[in-house]
Structure 1
Amino acid sequence: MMTNLFSTFDPSTSMFNLSLNWTSVMLGILLMPTVFWFLPSRINMLWNKLNLILHNEFKILLGTKTYGSTLMFISIFTMMMFNNVMGLFPYIFTSTSHMTLTFSIALPMWMSFMLFGWINKTNHMFTHLVPQGTPTPLMSFMVLIETISNIIRPGTLAVRLAANMIAGHLLLTLLGNTGPTLATSMIIILIISQFMLLILESAVALIQAYVFSILSTLYSSEVH
């Protein structure tokens, strides 16, 4: 039962032994109509407005010396948002529900932050291991806790996004599979609940993309 249930999330479509499901990562580009590339257009102005809002949001966390690093986090937000939203459509593979994608993005980012911080700002990184106001007897214990929490950050980033995406889709699949066995009077309740759950999943798709990019920004801000 569990194998059949979770097999809906496995890459299955292939051609010449190459999985075609991962091409869904690029499907977000199809959401941009051709009018987007004619400047200025309303869609382009709306997109620029969204980018400006995100830039100001990330700039608060990063400080004044951003050096254009907000562009990287805006790009991550855009990619995650497109993949999460496209995964809500039928027969489209949700790439962000797999640790393969989420961990391969979170780990290099975290690793680059750590390498930059420990090589260029070693003393600054050491100060983060002991929170301000920590009693002297607890300092060694706090260093251990802070070190462990720092090491598991890429894992928590990846698992949070993948688990949230797969949980909602799994619930939608479970409810959808009960449809043929329900009475006619219960079908209406099932459709309404599926519709409400789909609205919730749409909100989760946007929120999780925002959370992923915001947490990445916070981890980056500790290096500055």
Structure 2
Amino acid sequence: MMTNLFSSFDPSSFPLLSMNWMSTMMMFLLPSTFWLIPSRWNYMWIYLMSTMHNEFKILIKSPNNKGMTLMFTSLFIFIMINNFMGLFPYIFTSSSHLTFTLSLSLPMWVSFMIFGWINNTKHMLAHLVPQGAPSALLPFLVIIETTSNIIRPGTLAIRLTANMIAGHLLLTLMGNSGSSLNTPMLSVLISAQILLLILESAVAVIQAYVFSILMTLYSSEVN
């Protein structure tokens, strides 16, 4: 029995060695494409990777940095797989913790900022002041732009964490009420949970896409 509603996000495992975060490594167990004739799974995977490459290539804009799409495509796949793994029973949802999301957003944002301020200092300073702004508002605009820039990794992490927590909490609440329902209402509850699970599967892909797209836009601003 759970001590509270949020204890479903922190399952217990071995007392000496916590296996909770092992689910984040499941993507490394995916079979490699070593076959002479690729399967339908390989075709789907290659199609997904090429589609994301084309998406990120448009956003990066710079012809000298097209190789960066590999990093953002890997980020998308990594987050998406971890979001999907959390939908399976008895698997720790690592993407619902700020430890996971901040570890992805903060180092990348810091590296972009360091690269931008070292190599494109004038561009970064000009980015703090919107074009055509009144002179009297410039100090306030600089403060607002600086604050919005600093909180970017936090908003990225909180957005992903909150969306993962919301759906899992709703599924948990609906599942806990099933023992007190009669047979007709129980069938309605199961149907609603199936629909909600389909919605959560879509959210898992969308949130991974939003995270990687925003990170791509942040990187394009410093170039």
Fold-level match, TM-score > 0.5?
yes
The answer to whether structure 1 residue 210 and structure 2 residue 222 are counterparts is no
Identity, % of aligned pairs? 64
Give distance in 2, aligned partners of 1:183 and 1:208. 36
The answer to whether structure 1 residue 6 and structure 2 residue 29 are counterparts is no
Kindly tell me: are residues 109 and 3 of structure 1, through their superposed partners in 2, closer, same or farther at Cα, counting changes over 3 Å?
A: farther
Shift of 1:29: 4.0
Contact in 2 for aligned 1:14/1:21 (Cα 8 Å): no
Shift of 1:39: 3.9
- 1:106-117 pair list within 5 angstroms: 106-117=105-116
The answer to whether structure 1 residue 41 and structure 2 residue 49 are counterparts is no
Contact in 2 for aligned 1:22/1:93 (Cα 8 Å): yes
Q: What secondary structure does 1:37 align onto?
A: coil
Q: Deviations along 1:168-191, whole A, 9 cap, x unmatched?
A: 001000000000011222101101
Normalising by structure 1, we get a TM-score of 0.93
- 1:45-194 pair list within 5 angstroms: 45-63=43-61, 64-194=63-193
Kindly tell me: are residues 65 and 3 of structure 1, through their superposed partners in 2, closer, same or farther at Cα, counting changes over 3 Å?
A: farther
Shift of 1:92: 0.8
Moved more, 104-113 or 45-54: 45-54
Give distance in 2, aligned partners of 1:129 and 1:91. 47
Q: Where does structure 1 lack aligned partners over 5 or more consecutive residues?
A: none
Kindly tell me: are residues 71 and 39 of structure 1, through their superposed partners in 2, closer, same or farther at Cα, counting changes over 3 Å?
A: farther
- Residue-pair matches, total: 221
Shift of 1:14: 2.6
Letter in 2 for 1:172: L
Q: Where does structure 2 lack aligned partners over 5 or more consecutive residues?
A: none
Shift of 1:135: 1.7
Contact in 2 for aligned 1:54/1:74 (Cα 8 Å): yes
Normalising by structure 2, we get a TM-score of 0.94
How large is the RMSD of aligned CA atoms in angstroms?
A: 1.8
Which stretches of structure 1, 4 residues or longer, exceed 3 Å deviation after superposition? none
Letter in 2 for 1:165: M
Letter in 1 for 2:97: H
Give distance in 1, aligned partners of 2:54 and 2:136. 41
Shift of 1:133: 2.0
